[in-house]
Amino acid sequence: MAQLLGSGYNPRTLLERIVAEPEKALASDEVWLCAWCYRCSRNCPQGLELPEILLLVRRAAAQGGLKKPFERALHKIVKNIPLPVVAMFVCFHPERAGLSGEEVLQKIEQMREETVRAKKREKTVKGLGKVAVIGSGPAGLTVAHELAGKGFSVTVFEALPEAGGMLRKGIPEHRLPKQALAREVQLIRDMGVEMKTGTIVGRDISFASLRESDYRAVFVGVGAHKSQTLKVEGVDLAGVMHALDFLWDSNCGRSVKVGENVVVVGGGNVAVDTAETALRLGAKQAAILYRRSREEMPANRREVKEAEEQGVKLELLVSPKRILGRNGKVSAVECVRMRLGDPDETGRRKALAVEGSEFQREADMVILAIGETPDLSFLPFDVDRNEDGTVWVDPTTMATSMEGVFAGGDVVRGPASVIEAIRDGKIAAESIEKYLDSLRGER
């Protein structure tokens, strides 16, 4: 967060202040700058869940009428984060402390007007060709916002019919109202950014043609929209679908027929969002099957807890062995119980099947949320990949192995948080500016 906000935010020193000087901590804007990534908890030897501690402090501050610290924090967010409304809904969650969402939005709009006016005064025209941004998710929109604000000409290419990328496709309406997202996108358009939606790079326009035209730099932020396939019997039965397809249909307002007894396979944020959405669409039961324990779940811990409070059931240390059907439609899932072994290459303990522990679980709909990968078929092989199929970048600049090509967000990290994608976009925009300035110096 310090990289994004330029603040002295440090979870460790903040915790010390909460213990040593609780009154000063209550009056600090730092307690409002936690984006719920839980990185501090994962790296803490004691496993302290600082976001949960900060939530208690936030609630105490809000109930005590301490609004100024929050307003100071909000001003930092609006000033430094290109998508402040998105970040507020998806990352910072003031509503968890009891603050009115409508009041927060009004304050953001007021502060944003001041920030936009200031940026317009600072704006200078670089006049050094154009920048192509492939993908309009949080990383791509951030790059477009930052460079347009400095006078660069930016064109965004988006495969979906509307801009927003995974923000639009994969985040449910109850977590991110699409009207709020549309407002953020329109503000970026108003800055002069051209948005070419419904345009697939690699089909409608080649990557090589972008490089050969007057685009002097390219940012790749296509996200990870390609669903991985569960290799078990029965995945072709009616009632089995991929989570991103399910969420996309729901977000588009299409009629989505859900079963009464829905099983979601996976343990990430997409799995949690899918199970919650299934309940909201009328499912009587929604359960998440995950092959490891709660501690190994990649999903945000607070999101998991809130999903359980809404009725989502967690069935841990369970893995589907095959999907059973009746008359061509899902009727049950045959599962096997798992146990945890030694850590694998990711640091998580391996999930090992318990021999003879198979059992059947009734279900009339199975939604697969077992991971997403980027589709890089449009990129030349000159752009190096990592072993997991993501794009390799220099983490300090977000530059790829091809000169003038940068990347960030899920296409680099795999499925990650919105705030991490925004951070990548900020770093990439700064690197692109330096790169284009260096080209101008060579002329």
269 and 336 in a common domain: yes
329 and 233 in a common domain: yes
344 and 418 in a common domain: no
354 and 271 in a common domain: yes
Cβ neighbors of 281 (< 8 A, separation 6 or more) are 250, 256, 258
Closest CA to 212 of 19, 10, 404, 416: 404
CATH number at residue 283: 3.50.50.60
Per-residue pLDDT tens listing for the chain (443 residues): 767 876 667 888 888 889 999 888 888 899 999 998 888 887 788 878 889 999 999 999 888 887 789 999 999 899 889 999 999 999 999 999 988 888 888 889 888 877 666 655 555 555 656 999 999 999 999 999 999 988 999 999 999 999 999 999 999 998 999 999 999 999 999 999 999 999 999 999 999 999 888 899 999 999 999 888 888 999 999 999 999 999 999 998 888 899 999 999 999 999 999 999 999 999 999 999 999 999 889 999 999 999 999 999 999 999 999 999 999 999 999 999 999 999 887 777 899 999 999 999 999 999 999 989 999 999 999 999 999 999 999 999 999 999 999 999 999 999 889 999 999 999 999 999 999 998 876 65
Instruction: Please give the tally of structural domains in the chain.
Output: 3
Say how far apart CA 38 and CA 305 lie, in whole Å. 14
Cβ neighbors of 403 (< 8 A, separation 6 or more) are none
For residue 426, give both structure tokens: 């900020």
Among 371, 388, 423, residue at a domain's last position: 371
Q: Is the sign of the CA dihedral 362, 244, 386, 2 positive or negative?
A: negative
235 and 356 in a common domain: yes
Cβ neighbors of 352 (< 8 A, separation 6 or more) are 338, 339, 340, 341
pLDDT, tens digit (0-9, with 9 covering 90-100), for 24-76? 888 889 999 999 888 888 778 887 888 999 999 999 988 888 778 999 999 98
For residue 440, give both structure tokens: 């101008």
Cβ neighbour number for residue 405 with a 10 Å cutoff: 26
Cβ neighbors of 138 (< 8 A, separation 6 or more) are 83, 86, 165, 166, 167, 409, 418, 421, 422, 425
328 and 315 in a common domain: yes
For residue 17, give its domain range: 2-119
Say how far apart CA 352 and CA 291 lie, in whole Å. 9
47 and 9 in a common domain: yes
Q: Residue 61: enclosing H or E segment and its boundaries?
A: helix 50-63
Say how far apart CA 216 and CA 278 lie, in whole Å. 45
Give pTM, 2 decimals: 0.92
Amino acid at position 113, single letter: E
Return the pLDDT at 110.
85
For residue 323, give both structure tokens: 């999907």
The strand pairing partners of 101, in sequence order, are none
Alpha carbon 433 to its chain centroid, in Å, reads 25
346 and 257 in a common domain: yes
| Residue whose tokens read 């009041």 | 103
Among 119, 150, 167, residue at a domain's last position: 119
Cβ neighbour number for residue 204 with a 10 Å cutoff: 11
Cβ neighbors of 85 (< 8 A, separation 6 or more) are 105, 108, 180, 181, 183, 184
Q: What is the DSSP letter of 163?
A: S
Among 371, 403, 432, residue at a domain's last position: 371
Say how far apart CA 272 and CA 281 lie, in whole Å. 14
The strand pairing partners of 333, in sequence order, are 323, 361
97 and 202 in a common domain: no
How buried is residue 32: exposed, middle or buried, by Cβ count under 10 Å (0-12/13-18/19+)? Answer: buried
